[in-house]
Amino acid sequence: MRADTNTFHILSFLLLRLSFSCIFLWFGLLKIFSISPVYDVILVAYPVIAQNYVLMFLLALLEIAIGVGILIPRISIMVLWVMIAHLLMATIGVFHSSYAFTEGFPVLSFAGEFVVKNFALISGALILISHDTSMKKGLNLQEETAR
């Protein structure tokens, strides 16, 4: 029974990590090729970014870097914090624009619903940070006892 629980535990964290990676790679690639359906949302929330090709390209590269970096154990914790900051900025930008609500609070628009899911993504990132931190502590403890 213990082995099944441990396998489930490991697979759950792996699936969460791979899901985040796919999301950020996909969204970043859509922006790279200028076919992202959220361009209009970015235009309203952050017009300076949306109207500047270089800044949009850098945003796309950031998302791709997050998607790749989440998979690299050595940098995953730092990348997850960057992901959280990115998601918070996106959420705040939309909620301070006219795009978040259709008839006023609390009736969310499509864009509002799109960014509300960021709270779940942020929670998942915090779970992975906690997991990765405890794994690193466990590895450090094993290294110290081996000496």
The string of pLDDT tens digits covering residues 80-110 is 999 999 999 999 998 888 888 888 888 998 8
* pLDDT over threshold 90, residue 9: no
Q: Angle, to 10 degrees, between the axis of helix 2-32 and the axis of helix 76-95?
A: 60
- What is the pLDDT, as a whole number, of residue 129? 96
Q: pLDDT band at 62, cuts 50/70/90? A: very high
- What average pLDDT score do residues 117-138 get? 92
Q: What is the mean pLDDT of the chain?
A: 90
- What is the pLDDT, as a whole number, of residue 6? 84
Q: pLDDT band at 142, cuts 50/70/90? A: low
- What is the pLDDT, as a whole number, of residue 145? 55
Long-range (24+ apart) CB contacts under 8 A made by 104-113 are 111/38, 111/41
No. of helices (H) and no. of strands (E), the chain: 7, 0
- What average pLDDT score do residues 105-132 get? 93
User: How is the chain split into domains, by residue range?
Assistant: 2-146
- What is the pLDDT, as a whole number, of residue 97? 83
Q: Is the peptide bond before 106 cis (omega within 30 degrees of 0)?
A: yes
Q: For the segment 30-54, what is each residue's pLDDT rounded down to a tens digit? A: 999 999 999 988 998 899 999 999 9
Q: How far apart are CA 102 and CA 139, in angstroms?
A: 50
